[in-house]
Amino acid sequence: MAGDKYSCSIQGMCGLATGEFHIADQKNMEIKLLDNNYKVISTCDVPENFQDVCLIGDREAAVSVNKNIEDRHEIHLFRVRSGTLQKTRSVKLRHECVGLAHNSGNLYVTTGTQTSLYVYNILSGQGRQLYSHKTRKNIYVDRCAVGPGGSRAYTTNFSNDQLRIFLTGAEGWGLGCKCFSNNPVFRLFMKSL
């Protein structure tokens, strides 16, 4: 894109209700706001080693930053005001911060090599661990998504082509199933809650 020091390397993106969208450009270390015609109308710097971006409100996005060498694990929040991107705040976490998803005021955070999924309330900052894989053998919790109403959460594991589905019920969150796609026939393994 014009004015970039390096060629754009899109690490993540999310669309706004207005038709605009955010692009997280890892090589240039910035989040970009594009209009409906795909023209960059605003940019804002983000720290190096950011991992993902997701929409958390009508005009607000979250960006995850994870730099293990410096023990830096953060969420940075950005808002669009009068067509301009502005950083509003950042939150330090005590665990790795890789994938992000948002639903109903809750921000879901994956931890990559720490093999966990956390959920945080955006307003209060209160958080809890929803899942942690005990063996940590070739298990990574990379990206995540949340279903409508927040009753299901999905995580991916790039090291063994795995999708995990978590369900919520009266007893809280539990692993609903593991889906493997490394086979010509898609297999689904159900596991009781």
Do 115 and 183 reside in the same domain of the chain? yes
Shared domain check, 105 and 70:
no
pLDDT at 180: 53
Q: Which residue has the higher pLDDT, 27 or 174?
A: 27
Q: How far is CA 178 from CA 145, 157, 161, in A?
A: 15, 10, 10
Mean pLDDT of the chain: 80
Residue at which a domain ends, from 59, 92, 125: 92
Q: What is the mean pLDDT of residues 132-151?
A: 76
Provide the residue type at 174 as one letter: G
Q: pLDDT of 1-21, one tens digit each? A: 667 888 888 888 888 888 888
C-alpha closest to that of 171 among 146, 149, 192, 193: 193
Q: Inform me whether the pLDDT recorded for 162 exceeds 80.
A: no
Q: Which domain, by its residues, includes 18? A: 1-92
**Cα→Cα distances 171→114, 167, 175, Å:** 24, 10, 12
Which CATH number belongs to the domain containing residue 170 in this structure?
Answer: 2.120.10.30
Q: Output 123 or 184, whichever has higher pLDDT.
A: 123
Confidence of residue 135 (pLDDT cuts 50, 70, 90): low
Sort residue 142 into left (φ over 0), alpha (ψ -120 to 50) or beta: alpha
- How much is the pTM? 0.82
- Based on the domain organization, do 59 and 142 belong to the same domain? no
Using the 3D structure, point to which of 46, 66, 92 is the last residue of a domain. 92
Residues 100 and 193 in one domain: yes
On whether the CB atoms of residues 126 and 118 are closer than 8 A, the answer is no
3-state secondary structure of 115: coil
pLDDT range class, residue 54, cuts 50, 70, 90: very high
Write out the DSSP string of 145-188: EE-GGGSEEEEEEGGGTEEEEEEEETTEEEEEEEEE-SSSS-EE
Indicate if 117 and 73 belong to the same structural domain: no
Within this chain, do residues 52 and 115 fall inside the same structural domain, yes or no?
no
CATH assignment of the domain containing 44: 2.40.128.630
Instruction: Judge contact between 178 and 160, C-beta under 8 A.
Output: no
pLDDT band at 84; cut points 50, 70, 90:
very high
Q: How many domains does the chain have?
A: 2
Dihedral angle, C-alpha 26, 37, 1, 77, nearest 10 °:
-30
85/100 same-domain check:
no
Give the model's pLDDT for residue 50.
85
Domain boundary among 92, 108, 127: 92
The C-alpha atoms of residue 182 and residue 184 are separated, in whole angstroms, by 7
More confident residue, 61 or 165: 61
